[in-house]
Each structure stands twice: as structure tokens, then as C-alpha cells.
A and B are shown apart, each in its own frame.
Chain A
Amino acid sequence: MAYGRLGRRTWMAAAGVLAAGLWGCSRPVPPAPVTEVRAVQVAALPSTPEDAQWGSGEAFRAPLILQDMVEPRKMVAGATEVTVRALTDGKSIAFRLEWADATEDSVRDAARFTDACAVQLPSNSGPDTPAPQMGEPGRPVEIAFWTATAQAFIDGRPDDLKSLHPNANIDHYPFEAPGLEKTPGKAEEMAKQYAPAKSLGNIVSPSPKKSVQDLMADGPGTMRPAPSQSSTGLGRRTGAGWAVVITRPLPSGLAPGGTSLVAFAVWNGSDGDVGGRKMRTVWIPLTLTGAKKP
């Protein structure tokens, strides 16, 4: 693929040519196309996608392409673009992603997948850019991953079988046997034995408090939880799809006035999108407004 470390330089060059061409024009010209994600500095970051502050930033319409590098792949293209806005308060950066998706898929079950989106940044904002497809060995990327399933739990859907299958009839769980409540913690300990992923603290097991997972990767198939789970998010259905805010701390080395790269991905659950079956962008230049610290 051509979207390797060269991608960034190509983007910068394109932006330069455009700027030169417009210099010195006296008549009013149409606004220059937006070629980067500009994170505008604000005093306090909004937490909802409806917040009026989002109007202060320019929208970047990022074309989406199929993940086409590793099997299993998505073969038929889904959403064609994601509209991105960004704001920063100097410590964190918030992205607002909006894309078209006719169906709300927030249930995960056998053969049912969740809608989702993700923001990817290089761990190191320096010139040594990792490959945009999940980074590469020695050049890791950081990913903040929002899912509609986690959002649904936060919005109040109970985390039980009845919420998936209202008519399901469950006779008995051994950890709900009468009498267990007499020993504090006994029932929970027993329930854990039948839920190994939860016992191991796997972050895909529902956590009702957070809709965003912090992940890192250094190549396809290497994604793992990041040491700190500090990103937050909120997603809402729009008329035509989703609008999602993902807020994460600025990666190390990135500050107001600085630049880096950013990439996005979206998943449509009812299309069977999951893991590498997704629509993604190439690296996009990211600029933080504001004065550089001396």
C-alpha cells in the first residue's frame, strides 16, 4: 500500500501547493478545501456531540476505504466517509465523528455485531510515522475505540440475557442458589468461575462506566489494552447514522501548536463488521491550534 510513512509528506506537499496557488488573489475565492484535522483550542471540552462548541472547528470529511491488508476482510464497501471535528483544551483532545449508518446495532450476540468507531494516533508524534494499518513493530499506535454496545449499557440496558432475548427462560444459575447470600462475596466468586474473561479483567467484558476502550498495537493482530484506560466517549444516533465524541489525553510529545497524524475507522454491525472487517481512513495530518510552548 502507498499509505505508509510517505503519506504524511504527500499530504503536506499537497497543502503547500494549494496555499501557493491562492496567494495574491484579489477576488473572493471559495474557501480552500480542508486538508487536515485542526483541533481548535477551547477552554473546556464538550462531552456531547450536540454541544455548540463543535461549530468552532472546521469539519474534515475523511474518505473511508476498505481494510484490504489482512484476512479476514470486509469485501463490500460500507460508509464512504466520516466527518471529523476536533477540539483541544491543551491537555486532552476531543474528536467528533459523524457517519452514515441506517441501522442501530448495539447488541452483540451470536452472529450479531456492534456499530463502532475508532481514533488512531501514533504513540510518538515525531517524524518516524508508523504504518496506518495498526502500526508496525517498534512504531506503535494508540487507539481509542467506542462501541454502541458499551454505550447501550451506559444508557441503561441491563447486562443480562433477558435484555437480548426477552422470552428466554432461565431455570437456575448455581451462583444464585438460595443461601449463598449468607456468605458475603460467595455468589460473586462462584459467578466468576463461569465467566473466565471477566475474571481475567478482559476489557471487552462489559464495563458499565465507559464506552471507550484504550488500546495499542504495533501491527495487525497485535492490539491489546493500553496501560491506562483514560479515554471517554459518548455516542448518539443522528437521523442518518451516528455522532460520537471520543476524548483522550494528548499523546506524549503533542501539545498546542504541534502536529501529528490521525486515522479513523468505522464498523457497521449489521454488515458483519468486526475486527479487521471495517472501513478505515489513511493517515490524516492533525494540527493543534494555539501557541507552541517555548
Chain B
Amino acid sequence: MPRVYNWQLGREMSYWYPEVRAKKQFGAIFDVNKCIACQTCTLACKTTWTSGKGQESMLWNNVESKPYGFYPLGWDVKLLDMLGAQDWKGKTYQGKTIFESAPAGERVLGWRPDSRDYAYPNVGEDDCAGDITKGAHMTLPHMNWFFYLARICNHCTYPGCLAACPRGSIYKRPEDGIVLVDQGKCRGYQECVKACPYKKVFFNPMTGTSEKCIGCYPKQEQGLAPQCFSNCIGKIRMAGSISKPDQMREDNPIDYLIHVKKIALPLFPQFGLEPNVYYVPPLHAPAAFLTQIFGPGVEEATKAYLNAPNDPDLMGLLALFGSTEQIIPRFRRVGGEMLGLDEDGTELIRVPIQEPKYIRMAVDAARGVLLTNVP
């Protein structure tokens, strides 16, 4: 197998094809701390793309409660179990990726969920053992915490789905790195379903082909953020493009947050796909759990995030999340405002870094009435 460089692992690794990077790679950041599990994103995708026959239990976007929520059932823990315990040494991964641990006869280490695994998309929602006053009803490895993990296809730099397809029916667009299944060419072998560790390719029994998140490319081609981004109620998402660390551009919001501020981390980097959706880790979950799913940068990311009130650039960028449907390729801070700019510097959006404060007295003396804050 050819050797390729995976910067998330800090080392070279084996991959089915040689390293070919997209001219521009679609990348995104999800701030886990802001997600309210309203599932508006899930429905935005569903109504736009997957309302057809055979797509009934297919959610290209899903939001699950960690640690006990999974869609499909056990998607991550099953693979972690197959992979076995692996190590990081600092920021260099010492263990094996899913490509390096492929068994004989396979291209990738993976497993296939069956239809029952897709039948409970919101299993474990808000599950958090622990009764505050009377103690926990039962003892579990993870007590008294949970967080919402919103997931879409990661449009990986080294997609497992693409490596596994023996027909070359999956391709990565050179212009934006979006990974697509060619619906005219796919023959429904489900090798991609087996190989994607994130389980973001789905078999459609009515068309006989495998289908996946298309990164809303018709929107992105017009400079617009995907449906699950622009409809996000919690404004937790920012879409854009991500560069390799040595080619990053400091005025690109995604590059800046990931490479300079280091507040967002990839999901299961150890699988070796260089996924391109990054997460600001939740502040209240145990570091050991977070390190398992986001890799070794958790402490650093949390520290930077907590320092945001003293960091106007960071504050401003976080305020840009969900502020416009347009993708923001560049930014510039001007005093107390953060500007979202187009590639050519045209202003797309302007947000205050601190929302203005209005102080109202509880009593309106002139009218002699009490004021309340009922919306």
C-alpha cells in the first residue's frame, strides 16, 4: 500500500491510494458546547435529501447523546473494540489505523450494521445515570454527564469508503474534497458501508445502491453553507475549508481556529482517515473519554476555549458561527466587531464581539408599573 502523510497522526501511514489532496478541502467546526439536540439539522437534511423510498432510516446528519447514544447502534465502540487499545506518544499516533489493521482479504478493518442497528436513531438520548439527591440508581462507567454529538460525513482526506470500493464508484472532488458515491456506477456491494468507521454511507434497499451525505454541494458551489449548517438553531456550526498545517492561512476562520487556536479536534483521528469535521470538545465531560474520541489535543483545546473572554479574535470568530448562510472564507476584526469576508475581501457579515447590554430598571417610575422580562 502507498505511504501517505496524515498530519492528525503526526506520521505517515499506509493507504490504498497515493496521497492526492483536493485543491480546497471542505472543512467544518462544530461547537459541541452549544448544541441543544433539537435535531433541526437532522430534519433539514432529511427533508432536503433523504425522503425517498429506501431512505426511511437513513440520516446523513444525526445527533446522538454521548456516551450512550449511537447511530447506528454501537458504531464507534464496535470498531474501537475490533481495533484494540492503541497509544499516542504526545501528538504522534503509535497505534494502527483501520487501513494498517485490515485483515487478510480486506482493504480496511470494518463491520456492517444490519437494519436493526439503524432502527433506534435516538437511542440513549439524554441518558445520564445519577440522581442528584439520592445517589445513582446504578453504577456505570460514565456518571452524571452527557453531551450531544452532531455528526455528518467527514469528507475525509483518506476516505475509508473510497478505499474499500472495488469498483471505484466513490470519488473525492478535486475542487472541494467532497466525497460522493456515483449513483450511476455503484452496484450496492456495501463495501463502503463496512469500511466507513463513522457509518456515514448507507445502503438503500430500494435503489440497490449505497448513498451518503453530499456535503450539500449544490449549495456550496454557490458559496452557501450546507442545510444542516444554515438551519442549526444552536448556531454551533461553521463551514469553510481547511488547509494542511504548513499551508494554513491565518485569515481563514477554519484554519485559524484549528491550527492557530487549536480549539477544535477531529473525531477519532486514530482511525486514520484525516476527517475534516472538527469539534470543540465539551467542557464538562471527563478528559479520558474525550481523549479517546478526539485524540490528544483535548486539554489544550479546552484551555483555549475557556480563555475566549480574554481573546477578542476567538470570541469574534465564535460569534460568526451561524451568523449568515454564506460560507465565510476570510475574517478580519475591527475593534469590537468581527467581519466575515468573501475571498476578495468583500464584507459578507459583521457581528459585535460582545452583544450590547441594555440595563432596564425593574420599575418604570414614570408610568408607575413593574417591568418583567416575559418575552
Contact = CB atoms under 8 A, between A and B. Distances in A.
A110 B184 contact: no
Interface of B: 47, 49-56, 104-107, 112-115, 117-118, 164, 166-168, 183-191, 193, 202-209, 211
B191 A205 contact: no
B54 A204 contact: no
Contacts of A221: 166-168
Contacts of B166: 70-72, 220-221, 275-276
A102 interface: no
B53 A197 contact: no
Interface stretch (A6-14, A17-25, A178-186, A188-196): A188-196
Contacts of A275: 166-167, 187, 189, 191
A109 B205 contact: yes
Contacts of A113: 190
B203 A173 contact: no
Given A111-B113, A204-B187, A204-B209, A161 B56 contact: yes
A168 B112 CA distance: 21
Contacts of B186: 197, 202, 204
Given A108-B208, A275-B166, 9 more contacts: A70-B166, A108-B205, A110-B190, A161-B206, A194-B52, A195-B54, A202-B184, A205-B206, A274-B190
A184 B202 CA distance: 32
Contacts of A74: 105
A111 B114 CA distance: 5
A274 B188 CA distance: 9
A110 B53 contact: no
Contacts of A205: 206-209
Nearest to B208: A204
- B-side binding surface: helix, strand, loop or mixed? loop
Given A174-B51, A206-B208, A275-B167, A72 B191 contact: yes
Contacts of A75: 104-105
A191 B164 CA distance: 30
B365 to A, nearest CB: 55
A274 B47 CA distance: 32
A276 B166 CA distance: 8
Contacts of B193: 110-111
Nearest to A73: B105
A199 B164 CA distance: 25
Given A70-B166, A275-B166, A168 B56 contact: yes
A209 to B, nearest CB: 15
A291 interface: no
17 contacts: A71-B105, A72-B166, A72-B191, A75-B104, A108-B205, A110-B112, A110-B190, A111-B190, A111-B203, A164-B115, A165-B115, A173-B53, A195-B53, A202-B185, A204-B207, A205-B207, A274-B188
A170 interface: yes
A200 interface: yes
Q: Which of A173, A194, A206 has the most CB of B within 10 A?
A: A194
B206 A195 contact: yes
A113 B194 CA distance: 13
B54 A161 contact: yes
Contacts, number: 130
Contact of B107 (A72, A161, A164): A72
Interface string A150-190: 00000000011100110010100110000000000000000
Contacts of B209: 197, 202, 204-205
B48 to A, nearest CB: 10
Interface residues of A, number: 44
B50 A194 contact: yes
A198 interface: yes
A223 interface: yes
Contact of B203 (A109, A195, A206): A109
A196 B113 contact: no
B106 to A, nearest CB: 5
A224 B47 CA distance: 32
B81 to A, nearest CB: 18
A91 interface: no
A24 B112 CA distance: 61
A29 to B, nearest CB: 44
Contacts of A204: 186-188, 207-209
A5 interface: no
B217 to A, nearest CB: 13
A244 B196 CA distance: 35
Contacts of A165: 115
B56 A110 contact: no
A159 B206 contact: yes
Contacts of A223: 167, 187
A200 B209 CA distance: 12
A164 B205 contact: yes
Interface string A57-72: 0000000000000111
A109 B191 contact: no
Interface in A42-94: 70-75
Given A161-B56, A173-B52, A221-B168, A112 B114 contact: yes
A149 B188 CA distance: 13
A110 B114 contact: yes
B207 A198 contact: yes
B113 to A, nearest CB: 6
A24 to B, nearest CB: 50
A276 B105 CA distance: 11
Contacts of B168: 221
Nearest to B188: A204
A251 B115 CA distance: 41
Contact of B56 (A112, A170, A191): A170
Contacts of B115: 109-112, 164-165
A159 B53 CA distance: 10
Interface in A269-285: 274-276
A110 B208 CA distance: 10
A108 B236 CA distance: 38
